[in-house]
Every structure is written in structure tokens, then in C-alpha cells.
Structure 1
Amino acid sequence: MTYLVNNPADFVDESIDGFVAANSNLVRRVPGGVVRATRTPPGQVAVVIGGGSGHYPAFAGLVGQGLAHGAAMGNVFASPSAQQIYSVAKAAASDSGVLLSFGNYAGDVLNFGIAEERLKAEGIPCRCFAVTDDICSGPADKASERRGIAGDLTVFRAAALAAAEGKSLDEVYEFASHANDRTRSFGVAFSGCTLPGASQPLFTVPKGRMGVGMGIHGEQGIEEVDMPSASDLADMLVDRLLDERPDGAASPRVGVMLNGLGSVKYEELFVLYKRVSERLEAAGLTLVQPEVGELVTSFEMAGVSLTLFWLDDALEQAWTAPATTPAYCRGGVALEGEPRDDADLAAAHEEETPDASEDSKSDAAGMLAVIETIQAKIEAEAEDLGKLDAISGDGDHGIGMDTGARAALSAARRAVEKGCGAGTVLMRAGDAWANEAGGTSGALWGLGLRSVGACIGDENSVAAPVVAEGVVEATDAIMRLGGAEIGDKTMLDSMKPFSDKLAEEVKAGTPLRQAWRRAAEASQQAADATANLAPKKGRAKNHSDKSIGHADPGAISFAMIVSAVADTLESLHEDAA
């Protein structure tokens, strides 16, 4: 459990503030995370990493000379929002662009992808790279679907060296990809972890047993076995990783990381590493600059992971290069670059009031009413949504949706008070939802509201055709950036039928209120039908047997919301009727 907490809702921000106060010579605070204390030199790609909080030293502790230029940090075990990532990347970027790198989790892939598109739209070159080192989270023939765990560090190190050498963005990306291809990790857990303010751990492991293949976000292992001795555990870790030696890894030289997940102490790790090193050397391998300690944690989870980084000359140079960060210092390196000042860190976060027509300002009140309806419905149903999510997920869907909807409502009210048009109200609501909720659902709802708002705009009255067009664009964006398809058992399974039916009805001349209600009915039927599906995306896919027979929480919450909104549409401009 976490002992030192004020208000759990403030835990992440207070933690980041304290981290920066303790390391102000190396890092500076920006909205959404931290950046190096020195500016990124012209001609150098900025490497921006990130993920949920609760994993220190990852991710903030790896920002500094020889490693990352910035880190975006979301809520505990939740992806940073696209806005947070965008903010950090803007502060870190030079003229050569940004590489965004993170573990391969659905929320991270989605939010970093959205941030990438926003940066590119502003003329900032950007690429995303997801780390996939965890061999337990997918078969070898589907390595691209695996999670990223402690092996993140090898990829970050490779990207940082390529950037420091002045490589182009594409070259930095390719070298990061090469490092990822040569990295394999395998982990086990002896107990779960408890989130700040929570009374129970995310999962438990029976006494005398061990979870094999756990994740770093509190995901249970794929199986349980009897608790082994340290030597037997070392044998298990080594054997599994040696069985996955990458194709083309001809050199016997390997970088090694034995990572403690939070409660296994250094002395225990050294006992384990003694046997690990003996086994690896007996296999004919040469161990290069071993790392033993806490590199990617999961609060107080008791567990360990072993990572092998199969080296060639270029990768060994990356693995052994000097680095100076708050949590990772290797070889010693003098700080380089021009010191930042406060003005340099002040990104463009001031909310302006875009010009809007009187009709659009009038309709903005209708948009606010829609957001009020959404927030009230989610607040009433949050507990049940959490229970549904807990069947095969981590049970946070209701909490996340409630957090996002509250933030969206506050942002929408501020926008209306400032005289914004209808489109801006929705876009501000979407950004706030994504920023505060984080994770996959936060990103999806934020992207959806922003897409609809951008389509509606601030010039014309809100009319049925533009609303239907906005919903179609939002659905297309979610499919493109989220990577889900119909039948994957996600929110999309109820969103796509809603979008299709709404477009069909509006095209046929059906008034918006009636068209929306018919589309909502189609969405509800599709959401209920997800009970028969096995999940193919997200964390639930590893526990698909538990999900069969129960509808998808994201699909249910979407259908629930659009049904509630149907009762509020009369507040829109008359042309929308």
C-alpha cells in the first residue's frame, strides 16, 4: 500500500512537483510531465518517453543527458493524455522533430498517436514507437502485440544515442526499432500492489504461489506456480529468455537487467542475479554492464523481471554510453546545452476565445446541456460500470469515465462563459476529458468530442448533417488511431452502428432528434451483443474467458450516453431539429 498520501486525486501532481524540486538541476516541470533542464540543441531529435505514473524510475527519472529529453506522465497506471504528451513534446522539441516512445498498451498507443497527429499538424516532425519486450504477453509470431515492460530502457537508450549523434528522425526511429527487436523480458510477481488511497490490492497471489507473466499495471500473470527458490526462479527466467533469442543475434554479448518491481529488496535481487549470471555465462554469453535494481516498478508490487538485450557494435555503444538523469547515471557526462528559463517553458496553454457567430454562441448552450447530461448519467452509473469492468479488466472504467466527464463539464462551462462557439465548447470538453481521465477511454472520448466539435465549428448553426458528419469523422478517427475493429469487443462495437445509423437516417431526411434516437437504439442492441464476443484488444484480451457472457464496459457506456443525450437535443438550434 501507499502510506504517504494527502488527497489521492492529487497524488500524481504532488509526486511530480516533489520530484522536480529534488532534481531541479536536471529537469524542469511542464504541463503533463518534465523536460531536461537544458534546451534540446538545434539539429537534434527530441526523445520523449512516457506512460502512467507509479513506475519510478520510469518515466521521469530517465530524463536527462544521454537519455530522454522529456517524459509525459499520466495518472497512476493510466496513459498520459494526448494533451499532456503534446505539451511535453512541444517543450522538448527542436527543429528536427520528436520521437515519442512508450510501452505497447492500448491507452498509450492511442494517446501518443493522437499527440503525434497534433504535432505533425503544427509542422513538427514526429513519429511514435511502442516497445514490445514482454514475451509473456503474446506469442513470438505476434511480437508486435506484446507489452512493453522493463525493456523500455534499452529502446530509450538506443533512441537517445542516435538523437545525440544528430541522426534524422527516421534514423532515430529505425535504431529504436532495432533495439526493440533485440530486447526480451520476462517477469513474475509474488503479490499485487495497491493504488494510492485504495484499500485493496489490484490482485493477490495465494501464499506459497507465484504469478508468471504479470504486467506492470497490476495485471495478473497468465498462470500461477508454486513459489520456487531463488536459484530455481533464476533458471526459469533464463531458460524462457534463451528460448526467445532473436533472429540474427549472432554476438554472444548481451546487456542484462534484473529489475525489482517495488518490494523485492536489492540484497534479494543480488542473490537472484548470482544464479542468473552463472547460467548466462554457462550458456556462452558475455554480460555487458549488468543493471540490477529498480528500473521499472509497480508501486509496492513484489516481483522481478529479467531483460536480455542482444548486442551488436552499435547497440553496445548505446547500452554503455554515458547518461546523467535523476535515477540513472552511467559513465558521467557533463551537462550540455543552453539553460532553460521560465519563459522558454511557458508553452501556449492560454485559452483564447476564437471568433464565433451569434448562432454558434447560441448553440453553445445546447452543447453544454449535452455535456451536463453525459456527466449526470455517468455519475449515476459509475459504480455499475466499474463492476462490469472488474470482471475481466482492472475495474477502473467507471472511475475514469466519471473523472473525464466532470472535467469535460467544467471545461464546457468555462468555454460558454467566455463566449465560445458550439464547436469550441465540444473541443474544449474533449480535451479536458482526455487530459483528466487518461487511459484508453479518456483518449477515445476526448478524440470523439474534439472531432465532432471540429466538424461543427463556430460559424454556422448546429444542423443535422454536420452533426452526423462529425460523428462519422469521430468514429473514423477512433478506428484509425485506436486500432480496433468491429468484433474486437470495444467501445467501437456500439459506436460504429450508432454512427452508421445516424448518417443513414439524416441522409434520408429524418430530423436530428428522431435520427439520434434511432441510432441510439441500434447502439444499445450492438452493445448488448458484445456479451457474446471474446475481447481482442486491451487488457481484457488476456482474460477472455472471464469476459464471455458479459458485455463490454466501453460499448455499454457509449450506448448509455448516446441514449441519454437523445433526451437533451431539444436544446439545440431549431435548424438541428
Structure 2
Amino acid sequence: MTRLWNEPENFADEMIDGFARANGRWVRKVAGGVTRSTRSEEPTVSLVIGGGSGHYPAFGGLVGHGLAHGAAMGNLFASPSAQQVESVARASDQGKGILLSYGQYAGDVLHFTEAQDKLRAEGIDCRTVTVTDDIFSAPASEKERRRGIAGDLTVFKVAGAAAAAGYDIDGVERAAILANDRTRSMGVAFTGCTLPGAEEPLFSVPEGRMAIGLGIHGEPGIDEVDIPTADGLAELFVERLLVDAEIPEGVSVSGSRVVPILNGLGSVKNEELYIVFARVAELLEQAGVEIVDPQVGEFCTSFDMAGVSLTLLWLDDELETLWSAPADTPAFRTGSVDTASLVQRGDIDDSVAEEVIPEASEDSRRAAAAVVKALEAVEKVINENADELGRIDSIAGDGDHGIGMKRGSHAGAEAARVTFSKDAGAQSVLTSAADAWSNKGGGTSGAIWGVILRTIGERLGNTAPVNPTGVAEGLDAAKQAVMDFGKAKVGDKTMVDSLVPFAETLVERVNAGDGLVDAWAAASSASQKAADGTADMMPGMGRARSHGEKALGVADPGALSLSMIAAAVLEVLREASDH
């Protein structure tokens, strides 16, 4: 279990501070993560990587010459926010273009894409290559849907080396895509991992059994088998990774050159890994594979998880040159880097645009006061239920929903209070809360609640009177914005299953002439019923999608938290109507 922390919700922030202080030779702390403390004499394309915390040395440990230029570091097992990614990218930009790269998870895709769009809107050439190496997260025919695990290292290393070699943005992007196309991984676990402050691990494996196909965020495995011997595990890895469907296009196994990476996920000792690797190497050689620069150790962990993964990077001449190029980072060093040629960086700009408060009408300021009270009620109900939401999320997901919602709702309420104190209207208060929730909450839920609050604010404005019709239209627009943003639909077992009936019922009852309190009460009831109904659904989106039947019988945490929020806001509306 994880033993050392102060406040669990502050774990990631305090960890980043300590990491930067301990590794000033390579990195400097900036808003949202870290960036290099030095630069080459000539500017290059910048590689910005990132993901949730809890995976060291991914992601901050891979920032340095020959590898990444910056790392956006999110909350525990939750993607960094778009603001974090944007600020790290700005701090790392050298004017030659930016490549964003990260493991493919829903929250990461939402936040990194939003940051990319903002940077592109300012004329910065920003590209993305997601890592999709985990063979158990989707079939070979759907490789584009796979998640990224320890294969992050191969893609990041190749892209970083390409940038250091002077490739332009097109070349760095192409090299990263090639590395991803030629990387395959699978993982196993003997025990789950425990988040700071949690009493139980995110999942458990029966004594004497081994989970196959786990993720790096505490997601349970796809299958279970008896724990094999070290040789048996090696044979399982090689057998699964050398099936025809997993051999990259144009590659023949016999005669190929491969980089094998045997990765410990947190509490498996290196001595154990070496025993497994001895047999892995023997089996690869028997298959006619030539082993190049093997790596054994911790490269992408999952807190204290007792687990192992094997990654194979199938080389061609270019990939071998880039993989073998020098790199010097806190956690990954190879070859000889001429550090004397590196220049210490001066002031680093990681700023984002400051909030501008437009004029607001008296009606809108009164509505803004109600918004603040509603967000304070949201903060309270989430705080009371955060542990249970995390527990539910851990059954078929990664267990971060509760802590992410807690951080997000707290930040949203605080931002709303500050903005309201500046005589802001409803839109300004909601927009400020949206940005803060998205930034501090991170993950998929942070991104989506940012969309919801921002969209409602856009419909209410800062000058128009706020009435039931405007509120209903705002929720209906938010519903559509969330579906467009996250691509989920009703039946996918996500927050959308609760949001859609809530918004549609609210519109229906307001159009029928109900006041806001009565209409909201009916919508809240519909939301709660729909959230409970998600227990009978199979997941079609998100990390739970890989776990199928494990999610049956358990309601979706995002749908539940939305229904809780709807009920909490209803009490605020009722109280206001009584005065």
C-alpha cells in the first residue's frame, strides 16, 4: 500500500514539487508539470508528453535531452487538464512546432486535444501521436482503440531522439507514428494498487492467481489464471506477443531486431524481473529474433501494484538509430550526452490568458449569486460521497472518480466565489468555475464538467435576465456539447445516460409551463432513475469498456455523481423559492 502522504488530494502537487527540487539539473517546475531546465544551442521541435501521476518514471522522469521537452502531470491516475497541457507546451515551445504524445485514454484525449486546438488557434504547429501498445485493450483489428501502457517509452524515446537529431515537425510526427505502429505490450498483476488515503486496493486478485491484461491505472485484468513460474510467465508473454496478428505489418519474426522492455509495475523486485527476462531472451532467440539493447526495470508503474509487463519494439534501421541515440533524463539515460553544449534556460513563459470580467446586469449578478450557492452545494455533496464514488469506480475502472470530482468541485466553487466578488454575471461565474473544475479535476470528468458549466454560462450570458427557459436551454445545449465532445451516447454506460434524461425532462416540463423548481425536481428524478439503471448496462466507452462483465451490476460513477449534483442543486432552488 501507499504509506506516505499529507492530504491525498494534494499528493500529486506535492510530489511534483519534490521531484522538481530533486532534479533541477534536468527539469524546472511550471504550472501543470515540468519542462527542461536546459536547451540545445539550436532550437528543435518540442516533445510534450504527459498523463496522470502514479506512474513514475512516466512522465516527469522522462524529461531531458534526447527525450521529452516537457511533461504535463495530472492528478493520481487522472489526465492533466487542458490548461496544464497548454502551460507546459508553452513553456517547452522553441518555435519549431510541438508534438504531444501520451497513452490513449479518454480523459487524456479530451484534454490534450483541447490544448492542441488552443495552440493551433494561435498559429503554433501542434500535432498529436497517441500510444496504443496494449494488446489486451482491443483486438488487433481495432488497434486504434487500444490504450497505452509501457510502450509509452518507445514512442517518446524515438520522437525525442528525432527532435534532437533536427527532424522537422513532419519528421518527428512520422517517426513517433512508426514507433507506435511497431510497439506491442501486455501486462499481468498479482495484486492491485492502493491510492494514497485509500483503505482498499483498486482491485484484488485471489490468492495464487494472476490477472492478465491489466491497465496502468488500477484497471483490473481481462482474465485470471494460476500464478505461473517465472519461466511460465515469460512463455505467456512471448506466446501472446508473437502471434501473427500482433506482428507489425511488413515484419518477419525470424531475423528481426527487437528491443524488449520488461517493466515492473511497482513492487516486483528487479531480481525477479531478471529471472523472467532470462527466459524471455531465450524464447525470442529461439524464434530467430535478435535482441537489441534490452531494458529491465521500472519504466511505467502503477503505484504499489505487484505486476509485470513486456513490451517489444520491432526495429528498422531508422528506429534503431533513434532508439540508440543518447538521452539524459532523471530516470532514463543512455549513450553520452554533451552536457557542456546545453544552455541554461532563462525565464520560462508558462502563462495562460488572464480572466477578464465583462460588465454584467443586475439580473445576471443575482443569478450569479444563485450559481455560487449551487456550486457550494455541489462541493458539499461530492465531498460527502467522494469515497463511495471512488469505490464504485474501482470495480471496473481506475478508482479516481471520487478524488477527481472532489478536487474539481472544490476548485469550481472557489473560483465562482472569487469571480462573483468582482461583480461578475452568471456567464463569467460559470466560465470561471468551468475552467477551475477542468484544471483541478482533470480526467474525463473534469473535462466534461468544464464543458457543462461553460455551455450553460454561454446560454445565460452576463446581461440577459435568467429564467426557467434559459436554464433549460442551457442544460439542453450542455447535453449536446458533452455528447459531441466525448462521443458517448445513451447506452454507453457513462454520465450521458443520466445527463440526457435530466436535460430532456427539464426542457419538457419548462415548455409545459412548470416553474423551475418543479421542472428541476422532475428532471432530477429522471436523472436518478437513469443513473440507477446503468447498473444493468455493459460499458461502451471509457476504461471500463475493456472489462465487460465486471461492470455489470454496478452503476456508472459519472452518472451517479451527476444525479447527486442534480439533487443537491434542487435543494438550493427550493430554499431560494421559499424566500
TM-score normalised by structure 1 residue count: 0.91
Q: Which residue among 545, 548, 555 is the counterpart of 1:544?
A: 548
Aligned counterparts, 1:128-527, within 5 A = 128-243=128-243, 244-250=246-252, 252-335=256-339, 338-341=343-346, 343-348=347-352, 351-464=355-468, 466-503=470-507, 512-513=516-517, 515-527=519-531
- What CA distance in whole angstroms lies between the structure 1 residues aligned with 2:153 and 2:217? 17
- Kindly provide the amino acid, as one letter, of the partner of residue 553 in structure 1: P
Residues 79-88 or 93-102, more deviating: 93-102
Unaligned segments of structure 1, at least 5 residues: none
Structure 1 residue 310: Cα displacement: 0.9
Identify the range of structure 1 (59-68 vs 255-264) with the bigger mean alpha-carbon deviation.
255-264
Task: For residue 186 of structure 1, report the CA deviation from its aligned partner.
Answer: 1.3
Inter-partner Cα distance in structure 2 for 1:425 and 1:375: 15
Paired with 1:3 and 1:521, the residues of 2 have a C-alpha distance of 41
Pair 1:231–1:285, CA change in 2 (3 A): same
Where 2:365 maps in the other structure, the secondary structure is helix
Deviates more, 1:553-562 or 1:521-530: 521-530
Task: Please list the CA deviations of residues 147-187 of structure 1 after superposition, one character each: whole Å capped at 9, or x if unmatched.
Answer: 21100111112222333345454543333222111100111
Residue 55 of structure 1 aligns with an amino acid whose one-letter code is H
Give the 3 Å change call, closer, same or farther, for CA 552–4 of structure 1 in structure 2: closer
Match of 1:531 in 2: 535
Q: 1:570 to 1:221 in 2, by over 3 A?
A: closer
Deviation at 1:379, TM superposition (A): 3.4
SS at match of 1:203: coil
Distance 1:208 1:322, change over 3 A: same
Is the CA contact 1:157–1:318 (under 8 Å) kept in the aligned structure 2? yes
Distance 1:546-1:112 versus aligned 2 partners, 3 A rule:
same
Q: 2:202–2:394: 8 Å Cα contact kept in structure 1?
A: no
The separation in 2 between residues aligned to 1:525 and 1:275, in whole angstroms, is 53
CA drift at 1:346: 5.0
Contact in 2 for aligned 1:369/1:571 (Cα 8 Å): no
Assess, with a 3 A threshold, how the Cα gap between structure 1 residues 529 and 272 changes in structure 2: closer, same or farther.
closer
Kindly indicate whether the alpha-carbon contact (under 8 Å) linking 2:430 and 2:454 is maintained by their aligned counterparts in 1: yes
User: Which residue in 1 is equivalent to 2:84?
Assistant: 84
Closer, same or farther in 2 for the Cα pair 1:153/1:207, shift >3 Å?
Answer: same
Residues 353 and 420 in structure 1, CA contact (< 8 A), matched pair in contact too:
yes
1:340 partner amino acid: R
Separation in structure 2 between the aligned mates of residue 420 and residue 571 of structure 1, nearest angstrom:
23
In structure 2, distance between residues paired with 1:524 and 1:306: 43
Shift of 1:36: 0.9
Cα distance between partner residues in 2 of 1:357 and 1:67: 52
Question: Please, what is the CA RMSD of the aligned residues?
Answer: 2.8
Q: Retained in 1: the 8 A contact 2:192–2:203? A: yes
Say whether the 8 Å CA contact 1:451–1:470 is kept in structure 2. Answer: yes
Verify the 8 A CA contact 2:219 2:394 in the aligned structure 1. Answer: no
CA distance in 2, matches of 1:42, 1:367: 50
What's the CA shift for 1:12? 1.8
1:81–1:442 contact (8 Å) kept in structure 2: yes
Letter aligned with residue 201 of structure 1 = P
Letter in 2 for 1:392: A
Q: How far apart are residue 569 of structure 1 and its match?
A: 4.6
CA, structure 1 residues 35+562, in 2 after alignment: closer, same or farther (shift >3 Å)?
Answer: same
Partner Cα separation in structure 1 for residue 459 and residue 171 of structure 2: 36
1:369 to 1:63, Cα distance in 2 relative to 1, 3 A: same
Cα 1:349–1:197 shift into 2, 3 Å: farther
Higher deviation after alignment, 519-528 or 218-227: 519-528
Q: Counterparts of 2:320 and 2:531 in 1: how far apart (Å)?
A: 50
- Residue correspondences, number: 572
**Contact 1:184/1:309 (8 A) holds in 2:** yes
Q: Aligned equivalents of 2:553 and 2:264: distance in 1?
A: 37
CA change 1:510–1:38 in 2 (3 A) is: farther
- Give ranges in structure 2 of 5+ residues lacking alignment: none
- 1:163–1:395: structure 2 CA closer, same or farther, 3 Å change rule? closer
Distance 2:377 2:76 in 1: 28
Asked if structure 2 preserves the Cα contact closer than 8 Å seen for 1:40 and 1:94, the reply is no
Q: Is contact 1:31–1:87 with CA below 8 Å preserved after alignment?
A: yes
- Cα pair distance change 1:41/1:510, threshold 3 Å: farther
Sort the Cα spacing of 1:202 and 1:531 in 2 relative to 1 into closer, same or farther, 3 A: closer
**CA offsets per residue over residues 227-277 of structure 1, 9 Å max, x none?**
222222111111111112112224611122111112222222222222211
Tell me how far apart the structure 1 counterparts of residues 179 and 334 of structure 2 sit (CA, whole Å). 19
SS of residue paired to 1:564: helix
The structural deviation recorded for 1:135 is 0.9
Q: What CA distance in whole angstroms lies between the structure 2 residues aligned with 1:285 and 1:460?
A: 69
Change in Cα spacing, 1:210 to 1:565, as seen in structure 2 (3 Å) is same
Please give the secondary structure, in 2, of the residue aligned with 1:190.
Answer: strand
Quote the offset at 1:472 in angstroms. 4.0
Distance apart, 1:313 and its partner CA: 1.8
1-side partners of 2:294 and 2:541: how far apart?
A: 35
